[in-house]
Chain A
Amino acid sequence: MVVCFYCYHSGVGEKFWAQIERSSGELKKVRVDCTGKLDILSLLKPFEDGADKVIVLGCPNEECHNLTGSYKAKKRIQYIQQVLEDIGLGKEQIEFITVPRWVGVNA
């Protein structure tokens, strides 16, 4: 299972979801107000619950509604990547994907 946190302000449309679903199989979508609100624990929890991978979809740094949300999320993801590497899961099990803001539902 892949858990995908996505920013409320980002423009993730149907096509984008379809693309992710094709490549990941079972997908659990979790909408957040801003990826900067995701703390380390909330990003680790899915692995505890059996997720194979966690994806965070956030806005470009310079377009973040809360100014530094994406920047903070990336920092936390880097921390978790190191943890996952240390416990042998591999750092590729969590990633941040930048998506443009409000590109429309068909993007």
Chain B
Amino acid sequence: MDNLKKKYSIVNSQSSIVRVGVFVCDCGSNIAGVVDVPAVVEYSKGLPGVVFADEGKWSCSVDALADMQESIKEQNLNRVVIASCTPRTHEPLFKQTVKEAGLNPYLLEFVSIREQVSWVHMGVPEEATQKAKDLVKMGVAKAILLEEGEEIRLPVGKDCLIIGGGMAGMSAALNIADQGFNAYLVEKSDALGGILNQVLTVTHDHIKMPAANIVKAKRELVDAHPNIHVYTNAEIASVEGYIGNYKVVLNANGDQADLNISTVIVATGMRQIEPEKGAFQYGNDPRVVTQLQLEGMLKRGELSDAKDVVIINCVGSKNEERGCCSIGCHVSVKNAQILKALNKDRNVHILYRDLSMVKNEQIHLQGAKGTGVKFIRFPDSRYPEVAQGEAGLSVNVHDILLGREIEIPADLIVLTVGFTGDETMDDVRGLLKVSANSEGFFQERHIKLGPLDFPADGVSLCGCAKNPKTLKESCEEGIGAAMRTSIPMKNGFIEADGIVAEIDLSLCNSCSICWKRCPYGAIKVGEDKRPEVIKALCKGCGLCAADCPKECITIVHYTDEQLLAQVEAALEENPDKKILGFVCHWCALGGVDMAGVSRLQYPTNGRLIRVMCSARVPIKLIERAYELGAGGVLVAGCEFPTCHYITGNYACESRIKRAKKKLAKKGYDADNLWLTWCSAADGPKFANVMRDMVKELGLSK
């Protein structure tokens, strides 16, 4: 594509003449009460490329939308600029409208003159009108360069690989298979059931069930299902590809299997952390065991004579390295009750720091207390000590309530230790290119709203591979993960917005940074080291573009030249009084909108350009704004750690540091470049930044 030709002759990719239509909304008096809308319409008509401009009382009303479609057809418009409220709420509506008028929806540009102008500059109608004109001019400048886009589809089949045959994995497999899809269930050991195979009983509310019965019931369902293919003693040799297109090689029971896989569920579970040898005499004395060892002993009936049992909780947990083990309190109370039930004369002590029992688990706590289990709290900083004496073991503990040390004789000591991810986890991580946290568990896409996903499409996560969980929680996660992977399998494809990365290979030096940095696995590198964007997987954040040392990556619909056109339009007149702002769509623009909704009044100097992520802002555009004499430049992104694209704001932060150095080297005042992190709730912050910039940079007069 010849960029220069495109820019100067205003000819689009279809080689037809660009015909821009501008629709300016009054929003009743919301906009028209402050901004001189007829003047903005007249002004628009004089802008290059514009062949039609109109005022609408309520552009989003059904009648106005019909009129707009009429105008698009009559005037043969091939670009549309809407100047009205905010794209965050109304862009989908207008996109749909132009689409129904036969225009590609990517040829629409949205200009916000309510939230960014009339609501925040109420007392200064002339300046507000001037700003509205500038924003429309910027919108038109970009619109001219817009190109048709399309949703990109990638076909997805109906074969799901589930790694891990514990309760989460089996739950996932059953739900996948019930839809008629194939579930390939891969288990490293010789039997399904996972860590539950090591457990004696499971309790929930008033229910108490032998773990073996639960595993058996689930296993029978799995075995009987024609769509579930179980591989035991299996290990994954290799995984190549991406959603809809995985080639997986397994070694199972000595045989090799080659599978074509559409989606993947990771359910690799967890393992108990072996206590340090010698800690609490573990390893020195066979009477010191872990909870899972105790469950094994109970299962085998090896526990006839222990009279004094001491359970020590939080062993190796809640310290500098590791957090709460999540399930230890529950497990210790459950097992204490079993010990009591087997022999009511047995003394059972639970030594604890905090009792982390919620809602119905409280029932068990009361039950344990009722059967005579003794609870002793020790201070966070003074763990009990275990001594081997002639008479046997004894535990010395500082009882907080008594305020002194006490000694408890013991012939069995049970350590409630923490858990970490399964030992296959590092291999799986490498095979699927997913990440883990410092405690050895997989890291989900978003801790709140993406709990079952990895960033890459088509790979889900569930159960104890994520964090220790109860049986019920693991099963829920397995079912949920089945849903997440079933959506593309049911639809037969995944679809991505047309806003995707594009790499100019003529400038690329094959450094592979883009491939490494992409959180979505959307860039692949071939044997020739040349990167290629898998468009259907790309989310369009621009993280790769931000980190590319050659600056040769651009984002469709937010191309460098489109953004440049906006910068130049914004700074054509009185640049020294203007603040050129780049705001991210998800949070910062939300903060801008919030300032608008709250009618916070701030100076009119800002000219904002929307980008999907703050990481998208290239240094060369900032430099260009300086060259053009901008009074100030602002980059605004999501507050840490919120980022719609996981770590875009971090990338932005380091890029702005580089930008500042570069600017200073060129003799510019790097202090005129501001960076702010603004949440979508924080209208006051955005308004304050505008006020502060105007004040500190002396832009008021």
Chains A and B bind each other: no
